[in-house]
Amino acid sequence: MIDWLAAPWAYPFMRWALVCCLVLAGIHAYLGFHVVRRGVLFVDLAIAQMAALGAAVGVVFGFEHATTGGYVISAAFAAATAAAIALLRSKRIPQEAIIAILYGLSSAAMFVVLEHSPHGLEEVKHLFVGQLLTVPPEKVLWTAGLYAVAGVVLFRVHDRTTAVTHGEEPRGRLAYDLVLYGIFALVVTSSVGLVGVLLVFALLVLPAVAALLLPGGETARLFWGWGLAGAGGAIGLHLAFHLDLPAAPVVVLTLGVLLLGAAVAGRRAGSGDSRFASRPSPLGSGDR
């Protein structure tokens, strides 16, 4: 039994895949709470898909996925989308509708762009499910450093961005929205380049929703989110190794199973929050 549990981690590429999942879990779980609380569940998909479109444009112009040029183009597309989401507000049209439109247009555009690539279908698969088991260690470490800096910035603006997530209108709301969505775009661009759109979406939404269904205060739920995201990565990678299945989809399905378990546990405990979209965001003032 011990050998079975330890077998995957004897391989360096499996250990680095796990480190990659843990690095992504740290910042995605936090951002996921903002996404879920604001009720803009498609915002991550829209920005991630636009980052993928930018990567596809880069490929057509000769920039591979791991190159600086490809990253810059992808980040520019994601940042433009983030700015549009922060700026485009209408009393007649829900913001989620605008986000869904951006997602649909970027998806269609990606297929059109990749028609000019000799490996179009392979590129689509790469952008959607990534290559979790072949992530370069140096890229994981660079991403960890980038996310650490982003985490410091998020900590500094936490009170203001949380107030906006609560539905308040603090002074300078637009500026703080631009900061939050700008960091979101930077994080999503880096994550899509590592693991693909599918796993990025799952890490942002599933742990946050699962944590909101579990007992505890807001800070406790943030830690639940981190723990569930990390556990989903470790268990999913372990299963993918032994079952010889693609890693990212298995991790996503594992996160789905953990979400189901959280829903059952929360219901039994009588503390599941089915109205989480209108409740305070993590680390709210009630926890201080």
Q: Which structural domains are found in the chain, ordered by start?
A: 35-193 (1.10.3470.10), 196-288 (no CATH)
pLDDT 10s digits, 125-184: 667 777 888 889 999 999 999 999 999 999 888 888 888 877 777 677 788 888 888 898
pLDDT at res. 4? 87
Query: Residue 190 — φ and ψ, nearest 5°?
Result: -65, -40
Q: Say whether pLDDT at 191 is over 80.
A: yes
pTM of the model: 0.77
What is the share, in percent, of the chain residues with pLDDT greater than 70? Answer: 87
Are residues 31 and 208 in contact, defined by beta-carbon separation less than 8 angstroms? Answer: no
Write the DSSP assignment of 145-162 as a string of letters.
Answer: HHHHHHHHHHHHTHHHHH
pLDDT at res. 119? 63
Give CA–CA dist 256/252, Å, rounded.
6
The two three-digit tokens of residue 58, written as one number: 């880069």
Give CA–CA dist 21/211, Å, rounded.
18
- Confidence band for 54, pLDDT divided at 50, 70 and 90: confident
pLDDT 10s digits, 66-84: 677 778 888 888 888 888 8
What is the share, in percent, of the chain residues with pLDDT greater than 90? Answer: 30
Q: Please report where in the chains the tokens 């799952």 appear, as a residue.
A: 202
pLDDT at res. 261? 94
Are residues 42 and 35 in contact, defined by beta-carbon separation less than 8 angstroms? Answer: no
3-state DSSP assignment of residue 71: helix
- H helices of the chain, where? 2-6, 12-38, 43-60, 68-87, 95-114, 120-129, 137-156, 158-165, 173-195, 197-212, 218-243, 247-269
The two three-digit tokens of residue 148, written as one number: 């650490």
Give CA–CA dist 192/198, Å, rounded.
9
Q: Please report where in the chains the tokens 């183009």 appear, as a residue.
A: 73
